[in-house]
Amino acid sequence: MDGFALCFKEGLSHYTVVGEVAAGASEAIDLRPGEAARIFTGARVPENCDRVIMQEQVAYTGQVAELKADTRSGQNIRAVGSQIQKGQIVLEHGSRLTPASIGLLASLGIETVSVYQKPRVAIVVTGNELVALGETKNEVQVYESNSLALQAALEGLDLKVETILFASDDPDQTVAQLDKALQTANLVLISGGISVGDYDYVADALKTIEVDSVFYTVRQKPGKPLFFGKKGEQAVFALPGNPASTLTCFYVYVKRYLEHIQGQSPTEMLLTLETPIENRFGRALFVKAQRSGGTVTPIDEFNSATLMSFAKANALIYVPADTARIEAQTKVKAIAL
């Protein structure tokens, strides 16, 4: 506070100003009862000063400061050790470095800290029916979109993709591309090829390169054929190839995994459902929806392929597998997109 540092004397309203202390000044001023020093924000408080009164509450003429307001002990003074004590832990192991925590470390003179690297992510896309943007496709082919959607979703989490690889529906090439991805990344996302069709080679390829399965298939819609596995400290998610299933599994599982390993809290919320939801599938549902304020509204049926409604959604509503119907005005769990 810009004002006057006081060596307080009971009943006194006029103080003799004997000096000035600017921020960063090292000169020591030793005040006696009834004396004051002009002081500025950030300056070191003189010895024997127990309070600072702001300049707007003082009439200052010549060398005399006349107090126009009451004061109290400790007023406008930050005591030594008031932010952190000697021996106190500044940030716990595993804390996420925010702008405030970086500023705190710098204010304590700490130049470097040990951190975990951000996850290195590789994407492997499978499928003979896929055509890259800009290429000519025939009537049985589709433009490949999952790698771009996943890449954009990862960039939204401040993560960059190390590499994007493509594998045709061939067992040897699938093994080769998955192995190559594991050479460059500690998180691999696979799009397609994880179901049980005759041309789905991902599950066998993962066994070949010794990725241990943690789980495979989930009782949910969309996104039932979901695989999660580990190879040492590396993680692999094999996501269903249908675009809506791919993104659903990303937001529900991959995003949660990334939040966990980066020390972040999950972005789940409770919202009021505007229209009822029927669950006739006997599986958990993740319903595309729009949220506004504290409410959320479903925007389509539970199609696993279409991105049209997903492009308009900003939330996924979670419906438990054992819930057949959720009435309007009920609180539901939702994941922000």
pLDDT of residue 303: 64
| DSSP state, residue 148 | H
pLDDT of residue 174: 95
Is residue 141 within 8 A of residue 131, CB to CB? The reply is: yes
Instruction: Look at residue 27 and tell me whether its pLDDT is greater than 90.
Output: no
Q: Which pLDDT tens digit goes with each residue over 286-320?
A: 999 999 999 999 997 666 667 888 999 999 999 99
Q: Which pLDDT tens digit goes with each residue over 38-71?
A: 999 999 999 899 999 999 999 999 899 999 999 9
Q: Which pLDDT tens digit goes with each residue over 144-198?
A: 999 999 999 999 999 999 999 999 999 999 999 999 999 999 999 999 988 877 7
Please classify residue 309 by burial: count the beta carbons closer than 10 Å to its beta carbon, then call 0-12 exposed, 13-18 middle and 19+ buried.
Answer: middle
- Select from 157, 336, 145, 149 the least CA-distant residue to 252: 336
Task: Give me the half-sphere count of Cα atoms (radius 13 Å) on the Cβ side of residue 130.
Answer: 20
Mean pLDDT of the chain: 93
Pick the CATH number of 121-261 from 3.30.360.10, 3.20.20.70, 3.30.70.360, 3.40.980.10: 3.40.980.10
pLDDT of residue 300: 73
Q: Which pLDDT tens digit goes with each residue over 8-17?
A: 999 999 999 9
| Residue limits of CATH 3.40.980.10 in the chain | 121-261
| Residue limits of CATH 2.170.190.11 in the chain | 3-67
Q: Which two tokens stand for residue 312?
A: 């308009």
pLDDT of residue 295: 97
Confidence of residue 28 (pLDDT cuts 50, 70, 90): confident
Phi, psi of 6 (to 5 degrees): -110, 140
Is residue 142 within 8 A of residue 129, CB to CB? The reply is: yes
Is residue 31 within 8 A of residue 37, CB to CB? The reply is: yes
| Residue limits of CATH 2.40.340.10 in the chain | 268-336
Look at the domain 268-336 and name its fold.
Beta-clip (2.40.340)
pLDDT of residue 15: 97
pLDDT of residue 198: 76
pTM of the model: 0.77
Q: Which pLDDT tens digit goes with each residue over 202-261?
A: 999 999 999 999 999 999 999 999 999 999 999 999 999 999 999 999 999 999 999 988
- What is the CATH number that goes with domain 3-67? 2.170.190.11
- Residues with Cβ within 8 Å of 234's Cβ and at least 6 positions away in sequence, in order, are 182, 185, 186, 187, 188
pLDDT of residue 50: 93
Cis amide leading into 99 (omega within 30): no
pLDDT of residue 196: 77
Q: H/E element holding 66?
A: strand 64-67
